[in-house]
Amino acid sequence: MHHGNDAQNNIYTVTYAAYLNENILSVVIKATLKEGNNAQKVTIQSYVYNISTNEEITLQKMLEIKGLNSDSVQDQIKETIQASINYSENLTSLGYETFKRNINDEMYKIENSNNYFLGPNRSIYIIYAYGNENPTTESDIVYIN
């Protein structure tokens, strides 16, 4: 059976990075998927392990380990997301399509924010990869020194 122009071009690329800070291993996997005429989507997934105990480390636990105040980290998350909202609203007013963020979304709470990694210089990077749930390439990264 011949389908003519039905053949889709699918492009799938995967890249990853790993960071080792003492006994804490962070692995970040980024995948880009483009199927036919569908919007391109980028997914980002991270895993943070204590390699001495073989346990995964939550963001809350990591903040404790680093002695960081979770309220001030929560404020930093809000500030970063609000800046992205302002930026994308500006683009929308110029006629661009952007991903719509909701500052009150539960996903931005620290206890729900376990997509993060401990990168170079032991800095924390919290990832909100909207392509994990939506057909978008947009993401926000909150940097906590």
Instruction: Write out the two tokens for 28.
Output: 């970040």
Beta-carbon contacts of residue 71 (< 8 Å; ≥ 6 apart):
none
Q: How many CB atoms lie within 10 A of CB 111?
A: 11
Residue 62, classed as helix, strand or coil, is helix
Distance from the first to the final alpha carbon of the chain: 58
The pLDDT value recorded for residue 58 is 97
DSSP assignment letter at 98: -
CA distance 122 to 63: 11
In angstroms, rounded to a whole number, what is the distance separating the alpha carbons of residues 80 and 72?
12
Distance CA 44, CA 84 (A): 18
**pLDDT at residue 130 in the model:** 97
pLDDT confidence of 7, banded at 50, 70, 90? low
Average predicted confidence (pLDDT) for the chain:
93
Spatial strand order of the sheet with 139-144 comes to 116-118, 124-129, 139-144
- Give 39's pLDDT tier (boundaries 50, 70, 90): confident
Alpha-carbon distance 24 to 75, whole Å? 25
Mean pLDDT computed over 32-48: 94
Give residue 6's pLDDT band: very low, low, confident or very high (50, 70, 90): low
Q: Does 1 have pLDDT greater than 60?
A: no
pLDDT of residue 136: 94
| pLDDT over 90 percentage in the chain | 85
Among 1-15, 47-61, 63-77, 79-93, where is mean pLDDT lowest? 1-15
Q: Say whether pLDDT at 5 is over 60.
A: no
Amino acid at 136: T
